[in-house]
Amino acid sequence: MSSYRGPSYRGPSYRGHLGKMPSALGDPVHYWLRLDELRLPLNELIGESLRIHYAGTIHCTHCGRATAKSFAGGYCYPCFRKLAECDLCVLSPDRCHFAAGTCRDPEWAAGFCMTGHLVYLANSSAVKVGITRAEQVPTRWIDQGASQALPIARTHTRQQAGLVEAALRREVRDTTDWRAMLKGPPPPADLAAIRDRLFEDCAAELAVLTGRFGIQAIQLVTDAETVTIDYPVREYPLKAKAWNLDKTPEVTGQLLGIKGQYLILDTGVLNVRKFTAYEVEVGF
């Protein structure tokens, strides 16, 4: 990591590989821009000019080798093919094959998949159902740009959480419309009332799962309180035009805010997580 002054910058500039932006729940959420091991505080820079220049190189976040293309958010193709964290079941946990003995890395899965998970409702672009590891609350909600979130079930494993999610998603979506999320906060929703309706409408499917895994493995949560999340946004864009570093290697504009994993500029929005492992120069 280097810090230096360039002729086109008013302040210091930095070089490193982008990573998912760390965050902390606050009023509003606190964000940092991650460049390798460096963490640059972002909230205090809202309103300032920002320049991100893609240097043209990507290094795999696992093995470090140079790669012309990033797979699964920062991996080279060989790592994408062999690592358990890149397997399809990470995105579709109800399709977990750990019990079949075909997991790519059972030791990794024991610490990632075979641990406590939460099923939750979140209101980002609209109300959706999702899952996350218990220790990832509230980070997961912040990463998705949720304005409200409510835990509704606890499970012993990721697969069990995925199966609960699959049972509920016939009644509620499981995706976020990022364009709608970036246009402003969604209308407030009564997540507790939606939870109760889902439990009633999907009672048969949930009963099958508790019968399969046991009532201790899948526990419905009815006493949690809704968490409200506020983001450091001075102004939302009328139209969420997305910057793409592969097509436009230099991003410039005034930083208007941060929400989810997006930098909101007056010239467009940049999904920082999408460009994990890209080597960039950042100046203010």
193-242 residue pLDDT tens: 999 999 999 999 999 999 999 999 999 999 999 999 999 999 999 888 99
pLDDT value at residue 1: 43
Which residues, including other chains, have CB under 8 Å from residue 91's CB and lie 6 or more apart?
A: none
* Residues 151, 119 contacting (CB under 8 angstroms): yes
Provide the domain count of the chain.
2
The one-letter amino acid code at 189 reads: A
Burial of residue 99 (number of CB atoms within 10 Å: 0-12, 13-18, 19+): exposed
* Per-residue pLDDT at 107 exceeds 80: yes
Confidence of residue 10 (pLDDT cuts 50, 70, 90): low
- To the nearest 10°, the Cα dihedral for 24, 146, 132, 27? 20
**The last residue of a domain, from among 212, 228, 244:** 228
Is 50 in the same domain as 97?
A: no
Shared domain check, 212 and 189: yes
Query: Residues 102, 204: one domain?
Result: yes
CA atoms of 150 and 128, how far apart (whole Å):
11
Q: Residues 7, 140: one domain?
A: no
Q: Residues 153, 198: one domain? A: yes
Q: Residues 160-184: what's their mean pLDDT?
A: 96
Residue 189's domain spans which residues?
87-228
pLDDT at 12: 77
Q: Under a CB-based contact definition with an 8 Å cutoff, are residues 126 and 105 in contact?
A: no
Q: For residues 11 and 281, what is the distance between their CA atoms, to the nearest angstrom?
A: 13
**Other CB atoms within 10 Å distance of the CB of residue 260:** 25
Residue 91 and residue 64 share a domain: no
The first and second tokens of residue 257, run together, are: 């805010």
- 98 and 52 both lie in a single domain: no
Summarised one tens digit per residue, pLDDT across range 81-101 is 999 999 999 999 999 999 999
Which position has the higher pLDDT, 74 or 10? 74
- Do 74 and 176 lie in a common domain? no
